[in-house]
């Protein structure tokens, strides 16, 4: 864990102290909570406007049409020709097994 020293206006410090007391936690715990909440807001799910959804749908359909169709034999041939590579070192055995199960690869 690292340490961060902040200079706060007295009024802000008083507000944080009061909020921490209401939550029955230390000022440090409250600040960590508040910062975590703020940082993770970037990952919140947000509603997409209807116009953007329509545009994405049109673009997706155009992409599918541009790809055309293929037979199962062509898919199998492509998969058979693919290069086998070693898993990334950061993946543990359990994760690799789960991934293989998800894509139906026999060990």
State the helix-helix crossing angle for 10-23 and 27-40, rounded to 10 degrees. 90
Question: Which tokens in the block code for residue 76?
Answer: 């199998």
HSE toward the beta carbon, residue 13, CA cutoff 13 A: 5
* pTM for the structure as a whole: 0.42
Residue 34 neighbours by CB under 8 Å, 6+ apart:
16
Q: What's the pLDDT at 40?
A: 87
For 46-92, the pLDDT digits (tens) are: 888 999 999 999 999 999 889 888 888 988 898 889 888 887 888 88
Query: How far are the Cα atoms of 43, 47, 69 from residue 50, in angstroms, in the given order?
Result: 21, 9, 29
For 29-45, the pLDDT digits (tens) are: 999 999 998 888 877 77
Q: What's the pLDDT at 34?
A: 93
């Amino acid at each position: 864990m690292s340490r961060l020293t902040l200079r706060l206006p007295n009024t802000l410090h008083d507000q944080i102290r009061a909020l921490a007391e209401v939550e029955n936690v230390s000022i440090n715990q409250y600040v960590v909570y508040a910062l975590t909440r703020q940082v993770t807001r970037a990952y919140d799910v947000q509603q997409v406007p209807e116009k953007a959804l329509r545009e994405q749908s049109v673009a997706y359909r155009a992409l599918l049409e541009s790809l055309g169709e293929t037979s199962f034999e062509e898919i199998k041939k492509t998969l058979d020709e693919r290069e086998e590579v070693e898993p990334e070192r950061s993946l543990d055995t359990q994760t690799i097994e789960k991934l293989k199960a998800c894509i139906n690869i026999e060990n």
